[in-house]
Amino acid sequence: MSDELNLGLDGVLVTESSLSHVDGETGRLIYRGYAIEDLAREASFEEVLYLLWHGELPDADALSSFEDALADERPIDDDVVETLRALAAADETPMAALRTATSMLSAYEPEHPDPEDLDASLRQGRRITAKMPTILAAYDRLRDGDEPIEPRDDLGHAANFLYMRDGEEPDEVAVETLDQALTLHADHGLNASTFTTVVVSSTLADVYNAITAGIGALAGPLHGGANQDVMDILLEIDDSDLDPREWVEEAIDEGRRIPGFGHRVYQVKDPRALILEERSAELADSTGDDRWYDYAKTIEDYLTDEVGLVEKGIAPNVDFYSGSVYYQLGMPADMYTPIFVMSRVGGWLAHALEYRENNRIIRPRARYVGETDAEFVPIDQR
């Protein structure tokens, strides 16, 4: 057994997966063999969920049945709504509210199967996935003093979320944009939150425990919060008297870190950032407000062309444009990471169940560096 220390588990292989592959050198991301560009531009989020969970893209009949099954699971119990109401009154963050509500859903779960029944676990995960948009939309309305809106069964996953949040049927550009963003965030290898979900699931804990743990991992600012940080700097630019180029020059002179640049795996521009950059530009055209796209593009061009960050392997990641995309959709900044969860839950579930097919409880070691011969002193002598 090797005693080599790998902080952060860098380069450590713990399993094999057929779900997604990240090629950081060429900037390529695939889900079960399909390029993310094709899936984001041609497939719905529901098709991507089906692909991740069932290993193949659905035909029309299978997709229709799958969409119906998801729609049937969207409503949440009144007790969950009342808990969300109490959390909104306490000014809890949306991410923490989602974590609490997801855990609470297990009390209303109709199945309590053997933990090794993967089909039943998949059904439980489908219920959680279907209810997350309902939870988030309800919470966002409750904290604004509005009552939740019941989900509809005639709208897709993205469209229904926007409808429940805003109270009106969304336009096509908004639906396409959110649906695409959900696809782009659905899976990304064995990242921190996915690994956390797999670790918990490997103990044969149920899906509710595993996904709640994944939410906790994604809540950390080093993992899920960078898109909010990006939007914060864009708003700071908008409130300043500086143009974006002057602002970023001053920020660098002050030693400030620009969020949305750099990734643990990618050495080139994140392929998801390329797609969201397109969507940000389209939203700017649609709304007639191009500030947020222009600010982000100016910063990227300066850091790329003038500072040369990309040549150093520090390129825009998915968060660099997702923040402005969500903002253009009217989302509060503290909803960005919960929307990330709304998507990534599909990948979490897929990885947890894939690992369970050949399960072995995950149990790494730590190198002990403490004392070995400490002399115990009874309490009355200390």
Annotated catalytic sites, by residue? 223, 263, 319
**Amino acid making up residue 97:** A
How far does the chain reach from its first CA to its final CA, in angstroms? 40
Q: Is 145 helix (H, G, I), strand (E, B) or coil?
A: coil
Helix (H) or strand (E) holding 21: strand 20-23
Q: Is 149 helix (H, G, I), strand (E, B) or coil?
A: coil
Q: Is 59 helix (H, G, I), strand (E, B) or coil?
A: coil
**Calpha distance 1→335 (Å, rounded):** 44
As a whole number of Å, the CA-based R_g of the chain is 22
| Torsion sign across C-alpha atoms 171, 174, 180, 183 | negative
Helices (H), 144-243: 157-166, 172-184, 192-202, 207-218, 226-239
Q: Exposure pattern of 281-315 as b/e (b: 16+ CB <10 Å)? A: bbbbeeeeeeebbbbbbbbbebbbeebebbeeebb
**Calpha distance 109→140 (Å, rounded):** 24
Whole-number Cα distances in Å, 71 to 6, 65, 66: 44, 10, 9
